[in-house]
Structure 1
Amino acid sequence: MNPASSNPRNYNNSSSNIRRRFTYRFLRTLKQVNSITAGRSSSSWSSRRRRSLEIKHAANMCMAATVGGRRAWSRAMLSKIRRRRRRRRCSINETCWTGELREIVPGGEDLDTRSLLDETAHYIKCLTTQVQVMNDILRLYSSSS
């Protein structure tokens, strides 16, 4: 284990740094998405769904870019974003819980169990940060309206 990550102060400092960088990237990307989709504003279900997917894609892209290539899940997500391929499914014969986890965590297909659990913990931390930032943005815009 990395001694820096075992120190609670470093963890909080690292976590707030990731949150700050993610927030900056996400707001900048969200502004771009809004400028692109502003011309095609429609209230149909399909256009709302497309916009929702674009925002989700932007959030995932920013989260992976913020972490960079230090983690397997972020490398996998960045690679997936670059290639725009559909995610490969695990084989049907894989029935244990690690098989299901490998499908959820980007890049988990190629990891051993210990690395998979480590990547899962980090991925959850980043997803939690993403949700917190998006909730903060929602609260900010809800209170200003």
Structure 2
Amino acid sequence: MNRKHRTKNPNNNKLMLAFHFLRALARINKSTSTVSSYQRSCIIKRAAYASMAHAAGPRRAWSRALLYRLRRGSSRLHALPAIRRTRSFSHKRVKVASPKLREPNQADVLRRLVPGGEAMELSSLLKETAHYIQCLSAQVWLMQNVVGSITS
């Protein structure tokens, strides 16, 4: 039972995030295609989310869900309620008693905010949420430093 204890560097996530994001920015700048500023901001936003998910690694459910959405080409990065379209039928439907609509509790709201959190139990959801918030704050830190280095 010789386990090697690795002390995890708390800045490792920030370093990996910076590495992935700056590499993605370099690739974006190398592309010579002319795009509008809105399209460019969308590309940079997707690169920021992808680099954050890559830095988190495949063990986190939110990073796998986020990468899946990005690979699938979904323009919606956050889980928003889908709009359902109904078809009108010529025949009359039988009315069924609808279940009472309930107010979503805080865990359900959290499940919709964290990518991949829809099917998680509460303890896993809280762990994933804490890590997701940590990565989002690292992303904000990185963006502030990038903007600060460009403007000064």
Pick the aligned partner of 1:84 from 68, 73, 76: 73
Question: Is the deviation greater in 78-87 or in 66-75?
Answer: 78-87
With over 3 angstroms needed to count, the CA separation of the structure-2 counterparts of 1:133 and 1:74, relative to structure 1, is same
**In structure 2, do the counterparts of structure 1 residues 88 and 141 end up closer, same or farther at CA, with 3 Å as the change threshold?**
closer
Change in 2 beyond 3 A, CA 1:49/1:93: farther
* Cα displacement (A) at 1:94: 6.4
Conserved in 1, the CA contact under 8 Å of 2:79 and 2:113? no
Name stretches of at least 5 consecutive residues in structure 2 with no aligned partner: 83-100
For 2:117 and 2:47, locate their aligned partners in 1 and report how far apart those are by CA, in whole Å: 21
Q: CA RMSD in A?
A: 2.4
**In 2, Cα distance between equivalents of 1:24 and 1:89:** 30
CA contact (8 A) 1:21 1:66 kept: yes
- How many residues in Structure 1 have an aligned counterpart in Structure 2? 128
Normalization by structure 1: what TM-score? Answer: 0.77
User: Which segment drifts farther, 86-95 or 53-62?
Assistant: 86-95
Q: Deviations over 1:14-49 (max 9, x none)?
A: x2111111111100101111222x5415xxxxx222
**Which residue of the partner structure matches residue 18 of structure 1?**
13
Give the number of the structure with larger relative contact order, counting CA–CA contacts within 8 Å between residues 6 or more apart. 2
Secondary structure of 1:109's counterpart equals: coil
**1:59 partnered with 2:48:** yes
Moved over 6 A (4+): none
Structure 1 vs Structure 2: percent identity of aligned residues?
40
Q: Which residue, 11, 33, 39 being the options, matches 1:50?
A: 39
- TM-score (norm: length of structure 2): 0.73
Letter in 1 for 2:60: R
**How far 1:115 moved relative to its partner?**
0.9
CA distance in 1, matches of 2:40, 2:146: 17
Paired with 2:128 and 2:122, the residues of 1 have a C-alpha distance of 10
- For 1:17 and 1:74, the matched residues in 2 are separated by 16
Quick one: structure 1 residues 84 and 19, their matched pair in 2 at CA, closer, same or farther if it must change by over 3 Å?
Answer: same
Q: Which residue of 1 aligns with 2:141?
A: 132
CA deviation map 1:82-123 (0-9, x unaligned): 222456656986611222211111000010111111100000
Which structure features the higher share of helix residues?
1
Q: Which amino acid aligns with 1:141?
A: I
